[in-house]
Amino acid sequence: MIASAQTNDETPTSLPGTVERARAQLLESVVEPVLEAMGYELVHLEWGQSGRNRKLQVYVDLSPESEREGGVGLDDCARLSPILSNALDAAEATDRAEADLGGALVSLLDGPYVLEVSSPGLERPLSRRSHYARYLGQRIKLRVFSPLAPGDAQRNFHGRIEAVEPDPQQPDDDRAGTVTLRDPDDGREHRIPLHRVRRAHLVYEG
């Protein structure tokens, strides 16, 4: 590791993005408790390829309960990077020795990768239902894993968050539910299941 400061008939397991979401949730299960214990919030996490290197990008902010003014700075990121690196190494070693996570973490993290800890920035990533609810009425851009309906090629959406709803079958799952966007160009509303979202972020309007 290198560390630095539903609209069709697809089943849930066959939906595009299922593997990506499972990987992210596996890594979150290691990273998030460490951050919460230190007074930070895990905003978003991305695992993928960056050039020739595999890269784990972790976006963090101060916990909503924090009384500290301002946001996360470079000092926070530099402090958190080795701590998260050690936590991931320890979890991987435990999984290798005891198959605590069924070997999934070993399979994912085996070999070199870059860990980068960052603040969310002005165009803050959105990955959970509570994130969308927090920024109700604000403008966002969003990309889905695959078109929402047969015969529809659209993958990119933009607009203001009109509504956020939980999944009636999983009301306590912060990753499940729907977000409704209103397109500023034509006024159309798009109701998008959160499990179909590849990435989403706020649009800076300053």
Residue 127's pLDDT is what? 92
What pTM was computed for the model? Answer: 0.83
Q: Does domain 129-202 have CATH number 1.10.3470?
A: no
Q: Is the pLDDT of residue 2 over 70?
A: no
Q: Is the pLDDT of residue 161 over 70?
A: yes
CA torsion angle 141 145 148 150 (round to 10): 140
Q: Say which CATH superfamily domain 2-118 falls into.
A: RimP-like superfamily, N-terminal (3.30.300.70)
Q: Smallest Cα–Cα separation from 205: which of 134, 130, 145, 124?
A: 124
The tens digit of pLDDT for each residue in 168-177 reads 999 999 999 9
Q: Is the pLDDT of residue 81 over 90?
A: yes
Count the alpha carbons within 13 Å of 137 in the hemisphere toward its beta carbon: 1
Return d(Cα 48, Cα 24) in angstroms, integer.
10
The tens digit of pLDDT for each residue in 28-73 reads 999 999 999 999 999 999 998 888 889 999 999 999 888 888 889 9
Domain locations along the chain: 2-118, 129-202
The tens digit of pLDDT for each residue in 94-146 reads 988 876 666 888 889 888 999 999 999 999 999 999 999 999 999 999 999 99
Average pLDDT, the chain: 88
154 contact partners, CB below 8 Å, separation of at least 6 = 147, 148
